[in-house]
Chain A
Amino acid sequence: MAKMNMLQAINNALDLAMAKDDSVVCFGEDVGHFGGVFRATSKLQEKYGKARCFNTPLTEQGIAGFANGMAAQGMKPVAEIQFADYIFPAFDQIVNETAKFRYRSGNEFNVGGIVFRSPYGGGIAGGHYHSQSPEAYFAHTPGLKVVIPRDPYQAKGLLLASIASPDPVIFFEPKKLYRASTGEVPEEYYEIELGKAEVTQQGKDITVLAWGAQMEIVQKAVEMAEKDGISCEVIDLRSILPWDADTVAASVKKTGRLLINHEAPLTGGFAGEIAATVQKMCFLHLESPIERVCGMDTPYPLALEKEYVADHLKTYEAIKRSINF
């Protein structure tokens, strides 16, 4: 065990993956000698050479297309998109190409070796284009896996599992936690299974579900609610696609209530998918309407960020609303 922040855990995972398998290659804007604008790829070029860790020209569609080609040849590219806000130029390559590669070819070819890593989420005064949470856009795309960790231990295990996965994975890293979140992380190789949610706290009155940096936010709200005598079950979804409906439904059948929290805007956000699924699976167990505490349906603002975000107070109020329904 060693104390690591999330960036160190990610860097450590990439280092282990590259050491373990020659076909793992890291590239993107500024990831080479400089080690990335957040330093996630620090020292990898020094250790594994320029051929396996390198800068690309500034072109997201090029990065994604290049990754598709490398993976089709059988390599495992871990491509970085500098901010999730800038993944959209690569949307066509990811949605029309990466996601459909295996299916459309009848499994003659696949790009399962790919991981797209990208810092995502707000809380850093990033305004419109350094704060977005685009997971719901990708959740609508069969063929992709979408994964989001909440702390350094999760980040390392989920990233290693993503690199080992036979399917392409989009791995969103909550940049707000890069240095803020620290914890004990095993130094050796380990994987955390994709597609599985984790119940981080047992409770009986309401299920509170989130992912990424919002796990800290809901934890604060849950602590406030517990002072009011409300017992909360907390779940980290971890994988957005495919998502672990069984774990969530089992919890809701026990508590009878569900609150989903995410940073992204409400309309079309992934909470909608969860709510619809849970109301079908748990209709006779629900004792109040499913609550969604999300970003507002606006672009991510700068000056009024504090007002905009799905913070602990809004979550606390929604917990009470649900309980008192």
Chain B
Amino acid sequence: MTNPNNATITTVHTAEFTAGDALKIPTLRILRDDGSLYEGAVAPELDKATAIKMYDTMVFTRVLDERMLAAQRQGRISFYMQCLGEEATTVGSAAALAEQDMIMAQYREQGALRYRGFTLDQFMNQLFSNEKDLGKGRQMPVHYGSKDIYYMTISSPLGTQIPQASGYAYAQKLRGLANTTICYFGEGAASEGDFHAGLNMAAVHKAPVIFFCRNNGYAISTPASEQFVGDGIACRAVGYGMKALRVDGADILAVYQATKMARDHALKYNEPVLIESIAYRLGAHSSSDDPSGYRSKEEEEKWRQNDPIARFRLWLLEKGWLNEADDKATIEALRSEILDALKVAEKVAKPGIEHLISDVYAEPIPALQQQLDELKAHIRKYPDAYPVTAGRLD
């Protein structure tokens, strides 16, 4: 008998529910809090240089976050979002990828961006939306992107990158590229329709994409318990016929191991894989948010002990790959390096007025050119009202 329904038919003759929590997905943990390995756990193959790069990247993002949140508080930039507590999640996964694997992120993945080689100056130029920003100063701070390092420009609408990642990976397959696409999103974004659309499209069309969910417990003020009642996000993959892994997001060895496996699988079988990383959003949602209105200091304090950087640091010290004194000096040097770059970037001019209309289309359409010409004439008439551009008209 053919099976047009594409569903397994095992007949029973008494009605009985399959429970909504029938599927339990375990969480991979390799590294203990004290930096030693769990019994029976094996550390993924990592050379010293890679491990140190991972560590340095996590430290960089933490120091950058600290400094730039302060800069927002001082009114020097308009907006900021930290990735506090999730540094291992994004750095560990990015480290497991090849350089030309596409990264499509949500907005809290600066660790992956830095790991790929986004420079301190590039961070600053975007945050200050100056004329050196690759995005030409058009988007809010933290909406980074760079073609050279295969990091798709971030956009604010949640979940939209999920079906895009499926299409991007399908195109990689069609072109015969030995590359995958990783798509990051939070557990809140997974409630969007685009999550469903993207996962199903990828599964049906066998796109080599890694869906990477950062389940950090909160979508702004909404706890995960008000986001879904199923067993996290990982179990949903199974419904789409997709392999799934759940990892401890504060354990960088586990994140690295899981992503490595997912990448190998995606490319070998041309299949999507979903990874759910369990962590905690230690910081506020953004510089516009105050978490004290919806969660307790005690809860935050408990999770502060579960520090992904501290855990990896202990492992590196134990292996003799990191020296305590050097580490302290590095962090101090980094603080002043970041402050110096900030002071440079905030003085760089804003993009020229022609960039108001460039890139809307490949070439400006006549109506847009006309609008720009009228605007220039207007600015010439009221130069004091437009100090950023008035002195720079051609």
Contact residues of A with B, CB < 8 Å? 25, 51-52, 54, 56-57, 59, 61-62, 64-75, 77, 89, 92-93, 96-97, 100, 102-110, 112, 142-143, 145, 166-167, 195, 242, 245-246
Contact = CB atoms under 8 A, between A and B. Distances in A.
Interface in B326-357: none
Interface string B147-168: 1000011010100101111111
Q: Which 3 A-B pairs have the closest CB atoms?
A: A69-B167, A65-B163, A62-B197
A280 to B, nearest CB: 12
Contact of B153 (A70, A92, A105, A245): A105
Nearest to B147: A108
Nearest to B351: A106
B360 A142 contact: yes
Nearest to B156: A96
Contacts of B236: none
B372 to A, nearest CB: 13
B361 interface: yes
Nearest to A89: B193
B197 A61 contact: yes
B216 interface: no
Point out which of B160, B162, B361, B362 has the most chain A C-beta atoms below 10 A from its C-beta. B361
Contact of B174 (A51, A107, A195): A51
Contact of A93 (B160, B169, B196): B160
Given A66-B166, A100-B155, A105-B359, 5 more contacts: A57-B197, A59-B200, A67-B167, A73-B168, A97-B164
A109 B153 contact: yes
A167 B164 contact: no
Interface of B: 102, 133-136, 138-139, 143, 145-147, 152-153, 155, 157, 160, 162-172, 174-175, 181, 193-194, 196-198, 200-201, 204-205, 358-363, 365-368
Contacts of A105: 134-135, 145, 153, 359
Contacts of B147: 108-109
B163 A66 contact: yes
A92 B167 contact: no
Nearest to A51: B174
A69 B161 CA distance: 8
Contacts of A107: 136, 358-359
24 contacts: A54-B205, A56-B204, A57-B201, A59-B196, A69-B164, A69-B168, A69-B169, A72-B152, A72-B164, A72-B168, A73-B102, A74-B171, A92-B194, A97-B164, A102-B359, A104-B143, A105-B145, A106-B136, A142-B360, A143-B361, A167-B362, A195-B365, A242-B365, A242-B366
Contacts of A242: 365-367
Contact of A66 (B170, B172, B367): B170
Contacts of A109: 145, 147, 152-153
Contact of B138 (A51, A54, A104, A143): A104
Point out which of A56, A61, A242 has the most chain B C-beta atoms below 10 A from its C-beta. A61
Contacts of A61: 163, 193-194, 197
Contact of A70 (B138, B145, B170): B170
B164 A68 contact: yes
A71 B198 CA distance: 15
B287 to A, nearest CB: 20
Given A62-B200, A75-B171, A108 B164 contact: no
A64 B366 CA distance: 28
Contacts of A73: 102, 167-168, 171-172, 175
Contacts of B135: 104-106, 108
Nearest to B355: A106
A194 to B, nearest CB: 10
A25 B138 contact: no
B201 A97 contact: no
Given A93-B160, A97-B155, A69 B359 contact: no
A69 B163 contact: yes
A56 B167 contact: no
B148 to A, nearest CB: 8
A39 B198 CA distance: 26
A145 B201 CA distance: 26
B44 to A, nearest CB: 29
Contacts of A195: 365
Given A66-B163, A96-B160, A103 B170 contact: no
Contact of A77 (B157, B165, B167, B358): B167
Point out which of A54, A69, A71, A103 has the most chain B C-beta atoms below 10 A from its C-beta. A69
B157 A70 contact: no
Contacts of B136: 106-107
Nearest to A55: B204
Nearest to B146: A108
Contacts of B200: 57, 59, 62
Contacts of A106: 133-136, 138, 153, 359
Contacts of A62: 163, 166, 194, 196-198, 200-201
A52 B147 CA distance: 26
B2 to A, nearest CB: 16
A37 B9 CA distance: 30
Contact of B163 (A71, A93, A103, A246): A93
Contacts of B175: 73, 75
A112 B167 contact: no
Nearest to B358: A107
A56 B145 contact: no
Nearest to A99: B360
B205 to A, nearest CB: 7
Contacts of A245: 367
B153 A104 contact: yes
Contacts of A92: 157, 160, 194
A70 B167 contact: yes
Contacts of B171: 69-70, 73-75
Contacts of B164: 65-66, 68-69, 72, 97
Nearest to B137: A106
A96 B166 contact: no
A75 B160 CA distance: 19
A265 B310 CA distance: 62
